[in-house]
Amino acid sequence: MVTANALLHGDAARLLRFSPLEQPVALQLGGSDPGDLARAALLGEQAGYREINLNLGCPSGRVQGGNFGACLMNEPARVAACVSAMRSAVQIPVTVKCRIGIDGRDSEAELLDFIETIAAAGCRTFVIHARIAILKGLTPKQNREVPPLNHARVLRVKQVFPALETIINGGITSLGQAAELLRSVDGVMLGRAAYGNPWLLHEVDERFFGEAPATKTRLDYLEGFLPYIGEELRQGTPLRHITRHMLGLFKGQPGGKRFRRHLSTHGNRSDASLEVLLDAMALVA
């Protein structure tokens, strides 16, 4: 996620850089000015992104101060104008990620009205976090855990708007749970579950897309990842920006704690090289 202002007034080339190996990649934008968002969306399309997503779910105070994120659920007409402007600027899909509500606007009827307004502006895909965002009194971390889950409200969106693509997010911890939800919605987004245990994803292609069973081990995947990491290091990316996302790869496995501890301790050094990861891999080999 990057703000429209950061792209328009900062180093857009650096902020938008990604490896072709990462495709398909979506660019999530933060902002509330239709013109700025349209120009930022065009930069994203020109950089090769396959989708532009508007952030309507982040509850942080800093984000609220910039008048974007979850607080925009209070302004459906403004959001519709933003979506319309972005759609006019690009050929790739413009999607929305939102909550099921915010404090003071947290009923099912209000969510359905919100979805209807944004859909009328041309948005066909909604990624919905099945919790309200409490904008006053909770931290962003607490907003991912404290407000109760309400998956039924997201399923209701799909029932009322069957032609829209509805993707559910929030509190989904297993592929079995995902499969059950996919009987009622079009997609499932895994966040913290996959981040904390990336190995959760290794059966996804087999289970949901009919691919052959995965035979690679965790170390096999890391071996295949090494050329990408080496190129990123040459581009100036600190090792910690990569290794922090794989700390849970060996969760529950022999040597897993040593792997995590080694990366946490040595990967955070400013001069950390690929040798740090190779040494961590040796601890679980």
Estimate the share of the chain in helix, then strand, then coil, as percent rounded to the nearest 5.
50, 15, 35
Give the pLDDT confidence score for residue 62 in this predicted structure: 64
What whole-number distance in Å separates Cα of residue 98 and Cα of residue 131? 10
What's the pLDDT at 199? 95
* Helix ranges, 48-183 (H): 61-65, 76-89, 108-120, 140-143, 151-160, 175-181
Q: What is the DSSP letter of 194?
A: H
Beta strands per DSSP E along 134-268? 165-169, 187-189
Tally of CA atoms within 13 A in the half-sphere of 57 that contains its CB: 23
* 253: region left, alpha or beta (phi > 0 left; psi from -120 to 50 alpha): beta
| Tens-digit pLDDT profile for residues 63-121 | 556 677 899 999 999 999 999 999 999 999 999 999 999 988 899 999 999 999 999 99
Question: What residues pair up with 96 in beta bridges, in sequence order?
Answer: 54, 126
Asked if the bond preceding 24 is cis, omega within 30° of 0, the reply is: yes
pLDDT in tens, 142-167: 878 888 999 999 999 999 999 999 99
Counting every residue, how long is the chain? 285
Question: Crossing angle for the helix pair 108-120 and 76-89, nearest 10 degrees?
Answer: 30
Q: What is the pLDDT of residues 22-74, one digit of tens each?
A: 999 999 999 999 999 999 999 999 999 999 999 999 877 665 566 778 999 99
User: pLDDT tens-digit profile of 162-176?
Assistant: 999 999 999 999 999
CA distance 71 to 79: 11
pLDDT category at 138 given cuts 50, 70, 90 is confident
Q: What is the predicted pLDDT for the residue at 66?
A: 64
| % residues pLDDT > 70 (the chain) | 98
Query: What pLDDT, in 10s, does the model give residues 228-265?
Result: 999 999 999 999 999 999 999 999 999 999 999 999 99
pLDDT at 16 over 90: yes
Active site residues: 58
Domain boundaries, the chain: 2-171, 218-282
Helices and strands counted in the chain (H then E): 15, 7
**Class of domain 218-282 as given by CATH:** mainly alpha
In the prediction, which pLDDT does 252 show?
92
| Token representation of residue 272 | 């950390």
CATH topology match: 2-171 vs 218-282: no
Considering the four listed CATH numbers 3.40.50.1820, 3.20.20.70, 3.40.50.10190, 1.10.150.120, the one that applies to the domain covering 2-171 is: 3.20.20.70
Please determine, for residue 140, whether its predicted confidence score (pLDDT) is greater than 80. Answer: no
Task: Put residue 68 in one of left, alpha, beta given phi > 0 → left and psi -120 to 50 → alpha.
Answer: beta
Q: Can you tell me the distance from the alpha carbon of 28 to that of 237, in angstroms, rounded to the nearest whole number?
A: 21
